[in-house]
Structure 1
Amino acid sequence: MTYLDQNLSLSLEHRSVTVTLDWFAHNNNPLSPPRPAGNFVTPLVCGEEAFAKVYECIEKARHSVDLLSWGFDPSMRLKRDDQKALPLGDLLKHKAEQGVEVRVLIWNNKLAQWAENSVIGEGISGSGGTWLGSGQSEGRPVDTAERERIRRALLSDQTQELQTLDRLEPYDESKRRASRDRLIAIQHKLDALDSGYSKGRDSGGTAHDPDAQIDTRNWFRWVRRGQVRNIEFRTRDFDFLGGLTYHDETGLNIHRGRMMILGRLLRAELLGEISVTGVQMISLSLFPSHHQKMLLTDYQHPELAEGLVMGHNMHRNYWDTTAHLYDDKAANRDIGFGPWQDLSLHVKGPVLFDLNHNFCNAWDSGTSWIRRLFHGSLGSQRRTTTPLSYIRNGGEAAQICRTQPQEGPETTILEIYEKALGNVHQYAYMENQYFRYKPLVERLKETAASRKAAGALHDLYLFVVTNNPESKLFSSSTYETLESLGQSELMPLAHRDHLYDQRQLVYRERELSARPPSPARDRELEQVQQQMQQQNIDKERADELLKLDPNAHYNKATARELEPAMLPPKGMKVIIATLASCDTDSASPAANNQGQRQTEQRIAEALGPEQGTAKYKPIYVHSKLLLVDDLFFTLGSANINARSLLSDSELNIAMPSPKTTRLWRERLWEMHSAMGISTQKKKPIENINADFLAWENIVNDNWKLQKSNLPLKGSLVRFWDLVTPYATALD
């Protein structure tokens, strides 16, 4: 590691200095040390801001462009308000033709592509093609007859269901509502036909953009031909058994890749440091991804150099405005992609040295030894600069932290999270795609308990904005994280299933206890009792479980006829929320023909009108942000899950920055709640308490408004997952 020696001047006029807690990573094999000063950052909220900055940085570049990402779409439009702006691939091509050295490195695992296509239009061989194969000729949109056949069948089902609904009596409300549910399900299938990136024979773009299907494939054909010397596109993955790779400071080093991850997880499990199931072990060790996202331009010219630490991928579905409008056209999003919340950061200063170090290690690990022998590595070519070259007057301290199992292995993002949650005095705010790593909330609970034991007069506040998992693949890890915070009833189906599982344990324990002793019976009884002890099921709780009817509780919860019981840990106040966009102008989905309107009129006369006609669409939260006490933040690519903190490669920036942390909170909380943050109270903790109460009121109000299909106040809604069962999670 290259440390930055720097003298810090203290003002004789003020004769004082502020000493802060340690926020930086030192122990988990950090590639980069803290840079004590000279860093300037600019928050970028949502794709309109972030991708405009990406475009600006690339367009201004005079010498080099280094792009590292999880996904890449060369036909993506970075700037939507400028018709002359080039798509991403054409912009990079243009810079290469100007003599700028362009390097693009993207993660690509062929097995994982079956779940989600990350490299749009690359094809199997990388020479441009569909998801199923590679094209040897000019790209062209393929026949979409199969999609249209499915569309016609769904439209026919929709027509028949509308006719069925029209024949129902106005007073037969139960059947009418069931019919409406079927219509909604059909509409979801129709929407899915036109949503997201296409796969199969017509992949390489979206269903709505046949030109992009051509452009993406032709871009890869062009770049693979090497017609311009200054651009190089590569993909990377984890080697299963490892290979020779280059590391700037240690020379050639043998990486074991996925097998190393597996061994580390096994050791940590045996030492009791983490709890990972067999299914999770396989998933984390066999399918890690390179999830880092960063941009660096003109690195070898410090007066020009700048970069981005990103949560955004180079995919068109990541583009949205801060308004998160329900209507795609109004939001200027690509058709078929919903509202999207994401965050990135523009950076200048000494941390650019560390972004370059990370990029060079990744790039050189994929460079053949023959090429390194004759041309040298990228890292060796860039050793003429030092962190001091990039320092700017003023600025703040910062550190680049990573999860990188191939180097070290490094887990400094986890170290940063644990340290920050141990430093909390007032609040922690997590805005993250996932919320499913229980050890972090356990760490926060320890902090709260220690503060209470030491006589603290106020609770710690935890604000969480995340997504509903809505998939059994992520069930148990999400549920157990919520359960640790006393919020398990926010997942009613998983909660019901878990209660049933616990009841079965109690039944089995009592059945075994009633049997005559035997070696086999004693062993099984001991195992069952250990499981009950792990789940805190004592005799009193066992009696409660046997009396409980989990299904009745679930039915009331799904109908929103009862409030979920939320019992936060001692010394904490907790709110778990998601985001939603609301369409207030939509008519009832059933009232789209004259006969149906007449039917609706008869219902209104007999039963009264529908309570509301608002429709809701989730705003997908892809952010990866932690704020603590208006003092510290970390932002980057890392999610709050085992993959990001243990096995994938990730990149974050950590900054003890009161100014930027406060700016993040002001912008985001006003966006989500449609209210400014509280500033009326004298003490900061009193303002946080006022904000917490305001969030609670908004979430509770929107809970009632959603029940009646009425417009929302702001976009904050209660985390509420009705579809995820309790099942072992993959991560």
Structure 2
Amino acid sequence: MSDLRPTNDTQHRSTVPLCAATGAATGSAQWFLEKRGEDEKTPVFHHNNLRLYICGEETFKQIATDIRRAQHSIDLVCWGFDPAMELTRETADQWPRGDTWGDLLLGAAQGKFNNGKPVNVRLLVWYDFIGSAAVNNMPGYKTESLYERSKPGLLFPPSPSERDRREIFNSHWYRDVVAGKQNALSLRTRGGVHDDVMTSLRSEASMNGLGRIERLGFEYLATHHQKTIVIDYEGDKPCGYVLGLNSVTDYWDTTAHKFDDPRRGKSWEGANDAEPGLKPYQDYGCRVEGQVLAAVCKNFTEAWNKAEGNGKGAGSNVSREFNLKATPANLTRNLVAPHQSAQILRTLPATDGSEKSIHRLYNHAISFARHYLYVENQYFQHAAWVKELKRLRGEYLAGFQKGKLGMADVPKLHVMVLTPTPERKQMVPRTHDTVTELGHGSSMPNQTKLVEEEIARYDAVQEARRRSRDPLMIPPPQPLSSIAQAYKDAGGGKDDEMARKALEGQFAMRSLVASLWTFDTNWQTTQRDRLAKLDGWKKSANYDPNSPGYAGGINYIKDLENQLLKARYREIYIHSKLMVIDDSMFTLGSANLNLRSFAVDSEINIASDDPVTAKNLRERVWGQHTDGKFAGGVATDQTVMAETFKNWRREAYKNFKKKALGEAPSCFLVAFHDDRASSIRLG
């Protein structure tokens, strides 16, 4: 017999038969959290149908269909809610382009889709005065439209513009719901629990690196970040969703990620000020039927009953009892074979149950990664997680050595990370910490320069004291900042290529970090005016291409040329929270890969160990990102996976060069790069 000892406390100890002839043993991987006591509130459910959707068009279209089918109840938890957001978009004309959140929920509450019988709609949204004012996650809530504020009492006011009409719609929708004018439609809000944050963070190993500004940001800007829907929980055809997508208009996009898709909306409709229109977004949703819906509904019900009511439209508490070990029969009545197992994971503040199962699952699941570990996440900002991956990988290799096997026998683990340009400059340090752990620190060259200069100053003082006959005459250097110390701890200072070779030699790991970008194939048309201006300047009699500058030292011709090059590319904002491992498990939902999602904000994810679903998802996603060329095939075959990784790496770096030249890329993949630097951390 072979005694398999767990590498951490989330794994069960197991005993498996050992072949006397070959010395081999075969065991099964435990992908879920199944620790007695701690994980009983997040049990594994085996009878479910899961359906995965990529990007907003697919996801919101299905949500709209399910809302129209609702007969009893619709319960939503949102980070933000824009009543004017269209879930379906048939045209690219002015707003509204299709069914809006506000009209769909109102129609359901009024019985328009249910033979006149009202459906109980309950909407729970995060709202904090300071935080919400900064991100505008509830446009129109507690405010009048600018049109109504600026045109009071006019006998003949001008007709409202498209923007005015949209703002008026939101303002009136919220006003009527809060006032209780829609009997079956209720709204409650909840703010971040500030007192819980520091208690939660103290138990985190990475707490020591927090600066004062970052600590204050966590403490006073904690959010409720969960996004779920439950429809007809007590009905004949219950279903629900676990989402990464937010219910505000920026998050609608197609899998094609066109450079400029008018259906995404105009810049003023969302939080994006860039032109043309709202930018491309990548994210996911999981539609669920079956037993796991009980955990999703329980999460909503407990949060709703604790939330703050505002006005007559706050509705009443929900009376539901939950026994997660014996779920209602109606949840499985309409399931079709095959069934998929699933588990709901959460991050919750102490007042809501003090749960960190998302963080624990992320640390647990990577212990079984053997062929590929695919991460697609908005914030790749948790160096401690990469360190844990390397620690677990080291234990795995130690087992090979005990079995008298060499490194040639160890399957290579291909770590593939897709993450966007950090949305704030202050997020650069934590991203830099994390990519440096994987041997990609030079992808953020100016942050590397900043910390290396600090370390060089520190080392110079230390060396001067060492050489001095009287070291006490030289004051000791200031301690390294947490940013510089993290860089040193990650092996900073090594050439990236050397760092990656060391990663492969020591841990049998290969790594890639990339982003997603789309290209304006019609740039000669969309940039016609600026191209004509450039051509006119170049044809002028006094044009000198070698001149150092015109008009105050600025070479406006070269400046315009650079602008035109940049204008051909547009980043696809990765809002995803996806991890897939070895075609064997996946998790997605609201949680980012950072300390905030693991310990501060409330979050909810779903995980499944269904190999067919995981494989299909991986093939669709990898195919989408590589224009169908490198979806991975049999990704658990080492030869196939090595070839896929090589192709991804080649295309990412080739497209990085093409982007600098303004040439068309082969696919969305572009090697990750950020030239910014910051001495302030925000996570």
TM-score, normalising length: structure 2 = 0.79
- Establish whether residue 427 from structure 1 lines up as the match of residue 372 from structure 2: yes
Contact 1:357 1:379 in 2 (8 A): no
Describe the superposition over 1:594-629 as per-residue Cα deviations: whole angstroms up to 9, x where unpaired: 6642333579x9979989967000000001000000
Cα 1:29–1:139 change in 2 (3 A) is: farther
Match of 1:628 in 2: 581
For residue 90 of structure 1, the aligned residue among 97, 103, 118 is 103
For residue 387 of structure 1, the aligned residue among 323, 327, 332 is 327
Give SS of 1:378's match. coil
Shift of 1:515: 4.9
Match of 2:13 in 1: none
Describe the superposition over 1:662-698 as per-residue Cα deviations: whole angstroms up to 9, x where unpaired: 1111111111111344667796222211110110111
Match of 1:729 in 2: 681
What pairs up with 1:455-494 in 2 under 5 angstroms?
455=406, 456-469=409-422, 471-494=424-447
Cα 1:377–1:568 change in 2 (3 A) is: farther
- Establish whether residue 600 from structure 1 lines up as the match of residue 538 from structure 2: yes
Cα 1:376–1:714 change in 2 (3 A) is: closer
For residue 320 of structure 1, the aligned residue among 242, 253, 270 is 253
Task: Name the CA distance, whole Å, in 2 between partners of 1:357 and 1:56.
Answer: 23
Cα 1:24–1:133 change in 2 (3 A) is: farther
Shift of 1:502: 1.1
Cα 1:686–1:86 change in 2 (3 A) is: same
Describe the superposition over 1:130-188 as per-residue Cα deviations: whole angstroms up to 9, x where unpaired: 59999998999x999xxxxxxxxxxxxxxxxxxxxxxxxxxxxxxxxxxxxxxxxxxxx
Match of 2:347 in 1: 403
Task: Name the CA distance, whole Å, in 2 between partners of 1:23 and 1:384.
Answer: 20
Contact 1:428 1:627 in 2 (8 A): yes
Task: Name the CA distance, whole Å, in 2 between partners of 1:485 and 1:672.
Answer: 21
Match of 2:188 in 1: 234
Task: Name the CA distance, whole Å, in 2 between partners of 1:295 and 1:276.
Answer: 34
Task: Name the CA distance, whole Å, in 2 between partners of 1:429 and 1:38.
Answer: 26
For residue 616 of structure 2, the aligned residue among 653, 660, 663 is 663
Task: Name the CA distance, whole Å, in 2 between partners of 1:311 and 1:661.
Answer: 17
Shift of 1:521: 6.0
Shift of 1:385: 11
Match of 2:363 in 1: 418
Cα 1:643–1:516 change in 2 (3 A) is: same
- Establish whether residue 50 from structure 1 lines up as the match of residue 59 from structure 2: yes
Match of 1:40 in 2: 49
Give SS of 2:359's match. helix
Describe the superposition over 1:275-324 as per-residue Cα deviations: whole angstroms up to 9, x where unpaired: 433333222222110000001100112x3100010011111110011100
Give SS of 2:537's match. helix
Which letter does structure 2 place at the counterpart of 1:422?
S
Cα 1:640–1:50 change in 2 (3 A) is: same
Match of 1:245 in 2: none
Shift of 1:267: 4.7
Task: Name the CA distance, whole Å, in 1 between partners of 2:448 and 2:154.
Answer: 50
What pairs up with 1:248-327 in 2 under 5 angstroms?
257-268=193-204, 275-301=209-235, 303-327=236-260
Match of 1:183 in 2: none
Contact 1:463 1:574 in 2 (8 A): yes
Cα 1:232–1:520 change in 2 (3 A) is: farther
Which letter does structure 2 place at the counterpart of 1:575?
L
Give SS of 2:666's match. coil
Give SS of 1:111's match. helix
Cα 1:475–1:528 change in 2 (3 A) is: closer
Match of 2:451 in 1: 498
Task: Name the CA distance, whole Å, in 1 between partners of 2:410 and 2:90.
Answer: 51
Contact 2:386 2:438 in 1 (8 A): yes
For residue 21 of structure 1, the aligned residue among 14, 29, 41 is 29
Contact 1:580 1:617 in 2 (8 A): yes
Task: Name the CA distance, whole Å, in 2 between partners of 1:340 and 1:536.
Answer: 35
**Count of matched residue pairs:** 602
- Establish whether residue 210 from structure 1 lines up as the match of residue 164 from structure 2: yes
Q: Which moves more between the two structures, 656-665 or 462-471?
A: 462-471
- Establish whether residue 448 from structure 1 lines up as the match of residue 382 from structure 2: no
Task: Name the CA distance, whole Å, in 2 between partners of 1:70 and 1:424.
Answer: 32
Give SS of 1:430's match. strand
Contact 2:188 2:308 in 1 (8 A): no
For residue 225 of structure 1, the aligned residue among 175, 179, 190 is 179
Match of 1:713 in 2: 666
Contact 1:626 1:633 in 2 (8 A): yes
Shift of 1:228: 2.2
Cα 1:499–1:683 change in 2 (3 A) is: closer
Give SS of 2:639's match. helix
Task: Name the CA distance, whole Å, in 1 between partners of 2:70 and 2:153.
Answer: 31
Q: Which moves more between the two structures, 529-538 or 453-462?
A: 529-538
- Establish whether residue 361 from structure 1 lines up as the match of residue 305 from structure 2: no
Cα 1:678–1:259 change in 2 (3 A) is: closer
Which letter does structure 2 place at the counterpart of 1:600?
K
Task: Name the CA distance, whole Å, in 2 between partners of 1:526 and 1:51.
Answer: 53
Cα 1:268–1:432 change in 2 (3 A) is: closer
Which letter does structure 2 place at the counterpart of 1:101?
N
Task: Name the CA distance, whole Å, in 1 between partners of 2:635 and 2:321.
Answer: 55
Shift of 1:730: 1.7
- Establish whether residue 64 from structure 1 lines up as the match of residue 73 from structure 2: yes
Match of 1:107 in 2: 126
Which letter does structure 2 place at the counterpart of 1:586?
W
For residue 116 of structure 1, the aligned residue among 128, 131, 135 is 135
Match of 1:346 in 2: 287
Which letter does structure 1 place at the counterpart of 2:108?
K
TM-score, normalising length: structure 1 = 0.74
Contact 1:67 1:103 in 2 (8 A): yes
Task: Name the CA distance, whole Å, in 2 between partners of 1:617 and 1:533.
Answer: 34
Cα 1:134–1:261 change in 2 (3 A) is: farther
**Uncovered stretches (5+) of structure 2, i.e. residues with no partner:** 1-25, 112-117, 268-276, 401-405, 547-557
Contact 1:581 1:618 in 2 (8 A): yes
Shift of 1:440: 1.2
Task: Name the CA distance, whole Å, in 2 between partners of 1:277 and 1:537.
Answer: 17
Give SS of 1:414's match. helix
Cα 1:602–1:711 change in 2 (3 A) is: farther
Contact 1:427 1:688 in 2 (8 A): yes
Task: Name the CA distance, whole Å, in 2 between partners of 1:505 and 1:707.
Answer: 36
Cα 1:94–1:683 change in 2 (3 A) is: closer
Cα 1:280–1:138 change in 2 (3 A) is: farther
Cα 1:596–1:266 change in 2 (3 A) is: closer
Contact 2:483 2:679 in 1 (8 A): no
Task: Name the CA distance, whole Å, in 1 between partners of 2:674 and 2:426.
Answer: 14
Cα 1:273–1:477 change in 2 (3 A) is: closer
Describe the superposition over 1:628-675 as per-residue Cα deviations: whole angstroms up to 9, x where unpaired: 000000000000111101110000001111111111111111111113
Contact 1:666 1:676 in 2 (8 A): no
Task: Name the CA distance, whole Å, in 2 between partners of 1:96 and 1:139.
Answer: 35
